[in-house]
Amino acid sequence: MATKICPHCKNVALEVTHYQGEEIDICRKCGGLWFEKNEVNRMIAEVSDTPTCEKYEAHFGKSLGISKLDCPDCNKNLERFHLLEDFHTEIDVCRHCDGSWIEKTQLDSVKNSPELKANLDLLNKKISWKTYLFQFLTQMPVEYNVKPKHIPWVTRGLVALNIIIFALYFFNTDTLIATINTFAMKPSEVGQGHQIWTLITCVFLHGSILHLLGNMYFLYIVGDNLEDVLGHKRFLMWYLVCGLGASFTSFIVNSGSATPSVGASGAIAGLFGMYLMWFRHASLTFMIIIYQKKLSAMWFFVIWLGINLFGILSAPDGIDYGAHLGGFIIGLIIGYLLKAKIYQCNPIIVLLNQPHAQLKR
């Protein structure tokens, strides 16, 4: 049998090994893996319900063109594909002998491809008429992400708690005034050492029904996924940390203001930061009057950040942009610090966040 040479290293021989009962050639230098004809399909059939007669190539995304790598078997140029449509992990395929080249770090991507495809169906599916009608009536974005494995009890509890608190004070003028005076954060008062508790209590108050509904909607659409990967207790802890940090940022930015600050927006902005770090390939759809547009989470937060930066630099309009930006930055920091641990405990998120090209060419 002729020695196969690593298409990436060019001068290193591939070593025969086995995985899931299939013979696979591995480069011990770069970790690249070479699957002979149909080995990818047989391995996928071994770990999933995929019919053995179904060629997994049918699920590839569009061709990305001819690769700079050569086939270890026939020495012809490989062709580059995305492993799935809209899932930007690359695989190199030989059209002449049906072999496939992939990095070792992407082996789990191949093994779990049916699971990935099921999860990505939600992210990449076409927008339904129900979604369109909901967005047309509410003008609110809709999220497409991996379905959480656990019931988000804390997220639901926070939504319920905020609604209950709002209902207890908002509809009576005297109670409303007393609540704002006692529990809303006034930077000038906090600066003098008064009502320090308002740095956290203000997170559970809202100034209007629309303010409440908007915040609770965004809390729920990002909170369920974050709670799923963090766990109930840690999710609640980091939510409160983001809320407290957002209030403190608002205090610093508006230190001389006597205007009460209320709302969960800063805490939710912190969740936005964590969400962006861990779920950047999730999608959200937006309704622009009657036109529906699907955007990645990255673009959503770029637009959101731009609006808040513009707001903080413009004339005051009653919105606490300082709290939003403070919470968001704190969420980014938390997301960055916890990223390795979150990825270690949630491999499906790692697979969904693979960079567009893994091989260094």
Using DSSP's 3-state secondary structure scheme, residue 44 falls into: helix
Per-residue pLDDT at 36: 77
Of 92-96, 144-148, 170-174, 214-218, which gets the smallest average pLDDT? 144-148
The pLDDT value given to residue 12: 87
pLDDT of residue 180: 93
What local confidence, expressed as pLDDT, does residue 47 receive? 40
Query: How many other C-beta atoms are found inside a 10 Å radius of the C-beta of residue 224?
Result: 20
pLDDT above 70 (res 132): no
Query: Which residues fall within 8 angstroms of residue 260, CB to CB, at 6 or more apart?
Result: 180, 181, 184, 185, 186, 202
Q: Tell me what pLDDT residue 353 has.
A: 61
Q: How confident is the model at residue 123 (pLDDT cuts 50, 70, 90)?
A: low
- Confirm if 84 and 113 have CB atoms less than 8 A apart: yes
Please report, for the chain, the start and end positions of each structural domain, with discontinuous segments joined by +: 15-122, 126-350
Residues 233-241: what's their mean pLDDT?
96
Class (C level, CATH) for 126-350: mainly alpha
| Higher-confidence position of 47 and 361 | 47
Judge whether residue 272 has pLDDT over 80.
yes
Distance CA 303, CA 321 (A): 14
Give the residue, 333 or 3, on which the prediction is more confident: 333
- State how far the alpha carbon of 286 is from the alpha carbons of 137, 140, 258, 275, 289, in Å: 12, 7, 36, 18, 9
Q: Is the pLDDT of residue 153 over 90?
A: yes
pLDDT digits (tens, 9 = 90+) for 165-180: 999 999 999 999 999 9
User: How does pLDDT run across 59-84, given as a tens digit for each residue?
Assistant: 566 678 888 888 888 888 888 877 65
Three-class SS of 148-200: CCCCCHHHHHHHHHHHHHHHHHCCCHHHHHHHHHHHCECHHHHHCCCCCCHHH
| pLDDT, tens digit (0-9, with 9 covering 90-100), for 20-65 | 456 778 888 887 888 776 665 555 444 444 444 444 455 566 678 8
